[in-house]
Amino acid sequence: MYITKIEVQKNNSDRFNIFVNKGKGEEYGFSVHKDTLVKFGLRKGLELDDIELIEIQFGDETKKAYNSAIEYLGFKMRTEQEVRRHLRKKEVGEHIVDDVIKQLTGQNYVNDEEYASLYVRTQIRSNKKGPIVIQKELEEKGVKPSYIKAALKQFTKEMQIDIAYKLAGKFQSKTERLSFIQLKQKIEETLIRRGFSFEIIQTVLEMMPVEQSSDEEWGALIKQAEKAMKRYDRFDGYTKKQKLKQSLFRKGFSIELIERYIDEIE
């Protein structure tokens, strides 16, 4: 088999169609990227055996996969696992994926250690997540535990307390219908979901005011009581009052405030 003609593709000037003669006249053989053309010295009249053809096709598939990976990396930095998943979705063979990853890591286009460090710094600046959530996200991206551990050293205890305290303050400012006990429980739940440790959460709760002002607590009780009164409207007076007391007590309001409210509505 030998090459009879090489033509640039109409819709893609980076790829060339290779025509060959296998003993029965000229026919389309295969297509290659221009880099593959140069790498293997493809030219008119060049004879190719089956092994050389396999090498050319493997090299071209690798080049296509490499270009796909570079395009994927062009949007933002990715981990090795993310690039592997991208190529597998493109149905790229595992040997070619390995070869492409080797090239990308050698050129520092893929660097999980650097990725982890940058990811942690970005999350710290966002002021939204604690280290536990960040660690989990990096694990899901396939980053090695040693890289994650090293990157999280940037997230000092002081930084964690500062961010957690700000998140607690934002939550508190948006909440007007909770008793102080209920408010602290909600803040604790929120900070756990955001990825902060119990040690950090306890420190933050200790930094908060010991209790709400009497007016804030009274205002929260009234709002909760009004909602409960509508729910229990179908009950008689005594049952309605008992259910109201139970509801408010479960929400963390003191017996004194509950009794005060009952006295006032009566």
Task: Sketch the domain layout of the chain as residue ranges.
Answer: 2-76, 112-155, 158-265
Give me the architecture of the 112-155 domain, per CATH: Orthogonal Bundle (1.10)
pLDDT at 104: 96
Among 30, 60, 61, 63, residue whose Cα is nearest residue 48: 30
pLDDT at 123: 94
Residue 152's alpha-carbon distances to 45, 97, 140, 194, in angstroms, are: 59, 30, 16, 15
Across the chain, which has 266 residues, the per-10-residue mean pLDDT values are 86 86 82 85 85 88 93 93 95 93 95 96 92 96 96 94 88 63 84 94 78 63 80 78 78 72 74
Global pTM? 0.68
pLDDT at 210: 46
Fold: same for 2-76 and 112-155: yes
In angstroms, the CA 74 to CA 72 distance is 5
pLDDT at 49: 84
Residue 49, classified by CB atoms within 10 Å of its CB into exposed (0-12), middle (13-18) or buried (19+), is exposed
In angstroms, the CA 3 to CA 38 distance is 15
Q: Does domain 2-76 have CATH number 1.10.10.10?
A: yes
In angstroms, the CA 12 to CA 107 distance is 26
222 contact partners, CB below 8 Å, separation of at least 6: 261
